[in-house]
Amino acid sequence: MDDLDELTVARYLTNRVKERAIATAAKDRAQLRALHEFSVRRKLCDHWPQYPPIRVPERVPEAWFSGEMQMLLDSAGQEKTVLDGIPGGLWWRALIMLAYDTAERATALTSLRWRNVRGSSVLFVAEDRKGRRRDILREIGEDTLAALEAIRGDRGPDDLVFPWPRTRTYL
């Protein structure tokens, strides 16, 4: 608990800002503050934290230009492997298009089941999303729907849309 004094933490956070991304330092500050507040509530420490704020810049999201996206899709379409009976080129094209349309994370995409593909919308269930707290229904474009239908084959409602034979972190 002695290391939770303001000067030590301020020095540590200053060093973290120099060594890591500012968002990482802000996360570290939040976690240290939570630990410090917990220790005060449990009477392990007698002073509340007064850590300096770390302001993380809010960036404007940038998307690929349509030409860059087309190059990515063309490259994906050339993939020769077969994933659970699905030609790799079609599999990757559908995955990239769905990721682009929905902005969902890889785990949510690779956990998607056919029962949750509902015409021009896709339901991502809470259990497969970051935070695991709420479902979200996303609209998809006609091209994305066509790409998904191209990989469907005879798969049933409980089958994965994107079966992945490797570990999830490999994607």
- pLDDT-derived band of residue 171, with 50, 70 and 90 as boundaries? confident
Which residue has better confidence, 96 or 9?
A: 96
CB atoms within 10 A of CB 65: 9
**pLDDT tens by residue, 9-28:** 889 999 999 999 999 999 99
What's the mean pLDDT when you consider all of the chain?
A: 92
User: Whole-prediction pTM value?
Assistant: 0.70
DSSP 8-class letter at 160:
B
CATH architecture for residues 66-170: Orthogonal Bundle (1.10)
Q: Determine the residue type at 141.
A: G
Q: pLDDT tens for residues 98-156?
A: 999 999 999 999 999 999 999 999 999 999 888 888 999 999 999 999 999 999 999 99
Q: Where in the chain are the domains?
A: 1-59, 66-170
69 token code pair: 């996206």
Count other Cβ atoms within 10 Å, centred on residue 88. 15
* Distance of alpha carbon 81 from the chain centroid: 25
CB distance 39 to 1 below 8 Å: yes
